[in-house]
Amino acid sequence: MEGNNKQFIVKNWGLIDYKQAWEQQEVLVQEVNTIKLANRDLPLEKHQATPNYLIFCEHPPVYTLGKTGDQDHLLASKQELQQKEISFFNTNRGGDITYHGPGQLVLYPILDLENFFRDVHRYLRLLENAVIHTLMDFGLKSVVIQGLTGVWINPSHPIHARKICAIGIRLSRWITMHGLALNVNTDLSYFQHIIPCGIQDSHVTSMEAELGYQLSMEEVQNKLQAHVIQLLSLSHHSRPE
Order across the sheet with 87-90: list the strands.
87-90, 62-65, 97-100
Measured distance CA(61)–CA(77) in Å, rounded: 15
Measured distance CA(155)–CA(215) in Å, rounded: 23
Q: Is 197 a catalytic residue?
A: yes
- Marked catalytic residue, from 197, 207, 224, 228: 197
Largest CA distance in the chain: 58
Helix axes 120-137, 217-235, angle to 10 degrees: 140
Cα-flanking dihedrals φ and ψ of residue 61, to 5°?
-50, 125
Q: Judge residue 145's burial from the number of C-beta atoms within 10 Å of its C-beta, 0-12 exposed, 13-18 middle, 19 or more buried.
A: middle
List the catalytic residues: 197
